[in-house]
Structure 1
C-alpha cells in the first residue's frame, strides 16, 4: 500500500508539473485559433476535390468557418466547446479517410449504411490497409482533443476581453459566408446547400441513412401482403433445377472469357452450353443495394419500391418450387438477408465460423448444393451468394491455388498494384473453378438445368491516374460498374427450349443491365409466369430490347450513362 501511495503521489506531481508547464508556455488564444483551423480543414480540402464553381468553394469555406468561429466565442471554456463540436470532428475524420480512398465527394448515404451492413472482419481487413489515412487523422485530431481535455482539467479559459474582440469578427465572417451562399445559389442553378455545402450535406445524408434503415427494419410489415401471382409454365413431370449465383466484387475486365489477356477462366472455357455477355453493367456499385435489385424486379428507376416487394425466391415458391438460399457472407439484418430467408432452406456459412478471422471459402457452398440436390424434388431453385473477390483478395482462395504471383503485399497503395492485381486475378480463377464445379454438379444427371451468374459490382485497383481503389465510391468508375454476366444451359434444357438458346446467342453482344435483367432472365429460364415478368428485359427472350446505361446515385436517383463516361454525379441534382 505504501508503494502504491508513493506511485500515486509521483503521478499526481508529474501531472501537475506538465499542466503547469503547458499553461506557462502555451497561451489559450493559440489553441482557440488552432481548434478553429482544425474544424475547417475538411472544407478547405473539399475545395480541391469537388467540381464546384469558385464562388461555391468560397462559400463552402467561409460559411462553416463563420459558424465555427461564432460557436467558439460563445464560451470562455474553449476546450469544452471543442469537445461539444466532436460530431463535426468525427465527420471530418471520416471525410479525410474517404477522400484518401476515393479521391472526391462527401460522405455518402451509402457510406453510413455500409457501416451498418459491414461485418467486423470486413471492416478490420479494410482498416488494416488504410493506415496512411488513419495515421493522418490520428495526428490531426487526437492531439487537439488531448489539448482540449488538458485545458478542461487545468481550468484554462479565454479572457472576456479576447472573446469580446473576436465575436464581432466571427459575426462578420458569418455574414460574408451567408452573402456568398446567396450569390452561389443565384449564380449556379445546380448548387444546393443540402447536397453541396459541407457539413450540411453530410448531416442530410445521415438523416437519409436513418430513414432508409428504418424502412429496412419495417420490411416484413410493408411487404407482407405482396404476391407475384406466379405460376409454372413448364411441364410438371419434368425434373428441373435452376441456380442463381450472385458473385461479389468481380469485374468484367479481368475475365478471360471477356477478352482479358491473362488465363483467369481455364475451367469455364471448357464448359459447353456457357454464354458470356461482355457488355453487362450493374446499376449500382454498393452491395446492399445491388443484391436486392438482382433478387427482385426492382431497378434504378423504382428502387424505393424494394421495401414493398418480395424477391425472386417467393416467385419460385409460389410456382411450386423447393427453394434454398446459401450465403458465404455474414447475416447483417439487411434486405439481402430478408430476401434470402424467404427460401424453404437457408444457410449463412460464415455464421458457423469459429471466429471472425476464420476463413470460409466459396467452395463450401458446393456441399450445401450437393445435399440440396439429394432431396430429388422435381422442381428446385437455389440461390447462392458468394464472397468472390471481396478485399482482402488473398483471403478468398487457398494458398495452393495462387496462380499469379507475387500476391503480397496487400497494403492499399498504388505501389503494390502488381501484387494486388495478381491476388485479385487469383480470386477470379477461384470463381472460375467454383462455377465449373457447380455446373458439373448440375450436369451429373439428365435433367433440365440452367445457371445464371453475375456480380453485384466490380472494383477499382489503381487502374489509372485517378488512383481509385475498392468499390462503393460515391462516384463510380467503369471498373466498378462493368460486371460479368454468364448463362449456362444443360444439354437437355437446350433441346427442350431451343428458342431460349437462340435468343441468348442473338442477345449476347447487346448491352445488358445486370440489375434489370438478372431477375427477369431467371424467371424466363425457369418458366415462371407472373405479371412482373418483362420479356423485354430478359436476355433469353427474342423480345429483349437492351437498355441504356443507368446508374443509381447515392440519393437513389437514376442517372443516365453513356458508353464513354461511366460516372454519375452522386448528388440529388
Structure 2
C-alpha cells in the first residue's frame, strides 16, 4: 500500500503531480515534525496510546499537553527540521528525471514486485516497514481506530458470568470506587512525602493505605482497560468482551452509577466510556466543549446517588492531578509557593512541583469530602480510592509527565486507600483483617477485579482469589532497586567549580580565560604520533595539539583543566596516560587536571598514574526505570574496580545521579544556562555552593571562536 501511494503520481499529468506532491509533502512534513517532537520528549515513536491521549480528550486538555511539554527548544528543532527538508527539496528539484511513461511504469512495477517478493520472503523483517516513521504512524493511528471500533462492538454483547455467586446476603449497601488521575503516591504525605499534601486523609483513622501498589501502565486507557476487566499483565487470554467489573455488579443486582469529571469525547470510544455505558446511571460533567470544572462539581451528584435505596456501587472518575496541574484546583488551594533545599531545580521546575503538590492537596480535600458524605449514609459503606497511574514531576531527572517508553516508578506507583464505616467493619471483620495484613504487599492493579471480587462479594468462574490483595499477601513484582553500593575516589577538590565549556582553540581560550578559572577541552589521541589533537568529532581537525594549546597560555598552572577524551580505549590507554603525564609535568599541572571518558576500562592507566578521572555515564535519564537499574547494576562492579574520581553526565540527570550514586562525587554541565543572565548566574552559583558532591560544572560562554 505504501509503495502504491508513492508510485501513484506516475499516473498523473505534470500539473496533478505537483498538486499531489504538495499535499503528500505537507502531510509527511507535518507528521514527521510531530513525530520528531514525540521522540525528543518521550524517547519513542507514537503508538495507539498517543492517539488516545491526543484525540480522546477535550480541547483544553490537548492544549494543556502541548503547553506543558512543547517548549521553545522543541519548536526550534522542529522548525529547523522543516527548513532542512525544504532546502533538500529545492536541491533535489534540480535533478533531471526521464519523462518517458514507459520508464515510470517499469520503475513502479520493479519496485512494487521487488518489495513484495522480499517482504514475502521475510527479508525485510530487520527493517520492519510497519514500524518505520510514516508507515508506523499510520499503523498506530489505524490501531487506535480499530480499538475504538472494538470498544463499540463490546456493548452489543451482554455478559452473564458462569459460576456467579455471592456468599453473603447484602442489603442497602453503598460502595464507592474513586479513580484518580495522574496522582503519584510519591507526592502524598500519607506515603511519607515531605510536604503536607494529605492533611485530611492522614487524620482519618478509618483509612487503610496500601504502600506498594502499582499501575500496569503510565497511560489512562491501557491501564483502566486492565484494571476494570479480566485482562492482565501476564495473560492475553481475556479481554473486555469477557466482561468487566460493572458486569459483575450488574449481575449481582447492584444499582451502578458512573460519575465523571473527565471528557466524554464521543458516545463509545474508550475503555472508560465502554465501562461507563454499562452503568445504570451516568453523569459526565466535563464535555468536549472545553470547559474544565474542578472535581468538586461532582459532589452534589454524588450525594444524590448515595440516597438511593438498595445496594449500589458508585464509580467516581476524577480529573485528579492531570496536566495542566495549575488548572486542577481553585485559588484557595494555592498552598505551596516555595521549595526549600532543592538548589538543583530551576524556577520553572519548582513551579511545576508546587502546582502538582497543590493539586494533590486539593485531591486530598475532595476524597475527604466524599468520605464525609458517606458518613451520613445509613447501612454498610466503603470507599476505595486509587489512581489510574502517576506522574513524574522532576523527581529524578529533567522530565514531567508520563510515558510507558521511559516509564519510572513515579509514573506507576499509585495510592491505594480503603475507607469503611462501622457497619462495614462489623460485617466484614475478616476482610479488613486480611487487608491490614497485606498493606505492604506488592500488588499491580491489573489484577484489581479479583480484589474487588473479594471486597464486594461478587464471584464467578473467572475471579481468582490468588490474585486478590484482600485474600492473602501477594508478591507481584520483584524489587529492582537493591543495588550494590557504589564508590568513587572522590578526590577532586578544585578551588573553583565553574569551568568553561568546549575551549578547543587558542583564540577561544584567549576570549574566555579572563572569565573562568578553568576550561573543558575535547581531545582525540593519535596513537601513531602519540599526541592529543584538540577536536570534538565529527568536526574536522584543525591540527591543534594539546601541547601547543597549553603553551599559548601565560602561567598555565594557574588554571584547571577538564580533558574529555573522545577515543580512549583499552588499546591506547597506556600511551595516552604516559603522554598526558608528560604534558602535566611539562606545564606543572599536577592536581589541576581531570580526565574524562565514557570508557571506564580505558581510565585504568590514568588512575594508576594518580590522575583525577571521571567516568562519563550513559544517558540513564533516557531509559525506563527498569532499564536504568539494569544498566546501573552492570556498571557498579566496573566503577568499584576502577574507582574513578567522579561520575559525569549532563545536568538533566543530576537528580537521578544523586539518588542512585549517593557515595559518588559528580561532574555535570548544562548549556542552556547563561552566566550573563542574572537569574541563571544566581542559580548556578547557588547550586555549586550548596551541593557538596558536585565538584565541577561546565557552563556555556559564547565567543567568536566557539566551535
TM over 0.5: yes
Report deviation, 1:452.
Answer: 1.1
- Show structure 1 runs of 5+ residues with no match: 1-63, 408-412, 551-558, 568-573
Q: Do the aligned residues in 1 keep the contact of 2:189 with 2:197 (CA within 8 Å)?
A: yes
Query: Which of 36, 39, 57 pairs up with 1:118?
Result: 57
Query: Which of 460, 465, 468 pairs up with 1:535?
Result: 465
> Residues 310 and 319 (structure 1 numbering): CA distance in 2 closer, same or farther, change over 3 Å?
same
> Residues 431 and 499 (structure 1 numbering): CA distance in 2 closer, same or farther, change over 3 Å?
same
Bigger CA drift: 239-248 or 135-144? Answer: 135-144
Report deviation, 1:347.
Answer: 0.4
Distance, in Å, in 1 between the alignment partners of 2:329 and 2:190 is 20
Matched with 1:212 is 147
Distance, in Å, in 1 between the alignment partners of 2:401 and 2:133 is 24
Larger radius of gyration: 2
Report deviation, 1:147.
Answer: 11
Distance, in Å, in 1 between the alignment partners of 2:149 and 2:195 is 45
Q: Do the aligned residues in 2 keep the contact of 1:242 with 1:451 (CA within 8 Å)?
A: yes
Matched with 1:89 is 29
Report deviation, 1:105.
Answer: 1.3
Q: How big is each residue's C-alpha offset from its partner over 1:57-86, in whole Å with a ceiling of 9 and x where there is no partner?
A: xxxxxxx9xx999x99x9988965354333
Kindly indicate whether residue 39 of structure 2 is the aligned counterpart of residue 99 of structure 1.
Answer: yes
- 1:195-206 to 2 correspondences below 5 Å: 197-206=132-141
Report deviation, 1:416.
Answer: 1.0
Q: Do the aligned residues in 1 keep the contact of 2:131 with 2:137 (CA within 8 Å)?
A: no
> Residues 277 and 83 (structure 1 numbering): CA distance in 2 closer, same or farther, change over 3 Å?
same
Instruction: Name the SS for the 1:431 alignment partner.
Output: helix
Instruction: Name the SS for the 1:300 alignment partner.
Output: coil
Matched with 2:660 is none
Report deviation, 1:131.
Answer: 4.5
- 1:229-308 to 2 correspondences below 5 Å: 230-236=164-170, 238-302=171-235, 305-308=238-241
Report deviation, 1:563.
Answer: 11
> Residues 234 and 157 (structure 1 numbering): CA distance in 2 closer, same or farther, change over 3 Å?
closer
Matched with 1:137 is 78
Q: Do the aligned residues in 1 keep the contact of 2:152 with 2:274 (CA within 8 Å)?
A: no
Kindly indicate whether residue 403 of structure 2 is the aligned counterpart of residue 472 of structure 1.
Answer: yes
> Residues 307 and 444 (structure 1 numbering): CA distance in 2 closer, same or farther, change over 3 Å?
closer
Q: Do the aligned residues in 2 keep the contact of 1:250 with 1:389 (CA within 8 Å)?
A: yes
- Give the TM-score taking structure 2 as reference length: 0.58
Kindly indicate whether residue 333 of structure 2 is the aligned counterpart of residue 397 of structure 1.
Answer: no
Instruction: Name the SS for the 1:430 alignment partner.
Output: helix
Distance, in Å, in 2 between the alignment partners of 1:560 and 1:392 is 24
Distance, in Å, in 1 between the alignment partners of 2:125 and 2:96 is 40
Q: Do the aligned residues in 1 keep the contact of 2:259 with 2:298 (CA within 8 Å)?
A: yes
Matched with 2:417 is 486
Kindly indicate whether residue 339 of structure 2 is the aligned counterpart of residue 339 of structure 1.
Answer: no
Distance, in Å, in 1 between the alignment partners of 2:467 and 2:93 is 67
Q: Do the aligned residues in 2 keep the contact of 1:537 with 1:546 (CA within 8 Å)?
A: no
Matched with 1:321 is 254
Q: How big is each residue's C-alpha offset from its partner over 1:481-528, in whole Å with a ceiling of 9 and x where there is no partner?
A: 1111111122221222111111111111110102212x2222212122
Report deviation, 1:530.
Answer: 1.9
Distance, in Å, in 2 between the alignment partners of 1:421 and 1:449 is 35
Report deviation, 1:135.
Answer: 5.3
Q: Do the aligned residues in 2 keep the contact of 1:249 with 1:459 (CA within 8 Å)?
A: yes
The structure showing larger relative contact order (alpha-carbon pairs under 8 Å, at least 6 residues apart) is: 1
Kindly indicate whether residue 384 of structure 2 is the aligned counterpart of residue 425 of structure 1.
Answer: no
> Residues 494 and 562 (structure 1 numbering): CA distance in 2 closer, same or farther, change over 3 Å?
farther
Q: Do the aligned residues in 2 keep the contact of 1:536 with 1:546 (CA within 8 Å)?
A: no
Distance, in Å, in 2 between the alignment partners of 1:199 and 1:91 is 7
Distance, in Å, in 2 between the alignment partners of 1:439 and 1:190 is 55
- 1:24-43 to 2 correspondences below 5 Å: none
Q: Do the aligned residues in 2 keep the contact of 1:290 with 1:456 (CA within 8 Å)?
A: yes
Instruction: Name the SS for the 2:278 alignment partner.
Output: coil
Report deviation, 1:116.
Answer: 2.9
> Residues 427 and 340 (structure 1 numbering): CA distance in 2 closer, same or farther, change over 3 Å?
same
> Residues 147 and 490 (structure 1 numbering): CA distance in 2 closer, same or farther, change over 3 Å?
same
Q: Do the aligned residues in 1 keep the contact of 2:258 with 2:279 (CA within 8 Å)?
A: yes
Report deviation, 1:209.
Answer: 2.8
Q: Do the aligned residues in 2 keep the contact of 1:232 with 1:320 (CA within 8 Å)?
A: no
Instruction: Name the SS for the 2:44 alignment partner.
Output: coil
Q: Do the aligned residues in 1 keep the contact of 2:180 with 2:386 (CA within 8 Å)?
A: yes
Instruction: Name the SS for the 1:85 alignment partner.
Output: helix
Instruction: Name the SS for the 2:226 alignment partner.
Output: helix
Count of residue pairs brought into register by the alignment: 459
- Give the TM-score taking structure 1 as reference length: 0.70
Distance, in Å, in 1 between the alignment partners of 2:97 and 2:628 is 57
> Residues 225 and 245 (structure 1 numbering): CA distance in 2 closer, same or farther, change over 3 Å?
closer
Distance, in Å, in 1 between the alignment partners of 2:243 and 2:184 is 28
Report deviation, 1:335.
Answer: 2.1
Q: Do the aligned residues in 2 keep the contact of 1:406 with 1:422 (CA within 8 Å)?
A: yes
Q: Do the aligned residues in 1 keep the contact of 2:257 with 2:313 (CA within 8 Å)?
A: yes
Q: Do the aligned residues in 1 keep the contact of 2:217 with 2:404 (CA within 8 Å)?
A: no
- In angstroms, what is the RMSD of aligned CA positions? 4.1
Matched with 1:504 is 435
Matched with 2:312 is 380
Report deviation, 1:123.
Answer: 0.6
Q: How big is each residue's C-alpha offset from its partner over 1:369-390, in whole Å with a ceiling of 9 and x where there is no partner?
A: 1111122x23111111000000
Distance, in Å, in 2 between the alignment partners of 1:564 and 1:495 is 45
- Structure holding more helix per residue: 1
Q: Do the aligned residues in 2 keep the contact of 1:454 with 1:483 (CA within 8 Å)?
A: yes
Kindly indicate whether residue 391 of structure 2 is the aligned counterpart of residue 459 of structure 1.
Answer: yes
> Residues 536 and 127 (structure 1 numbering): CA distance in 2 closer, same or farther, change over 3 Å?
same
Report deviation, 1:269.
Answer: 0.9
Q: Do the aligned residues in 2 keep the contact of 1:389 with 1:428 (CA within 8 Å)?
A: yes
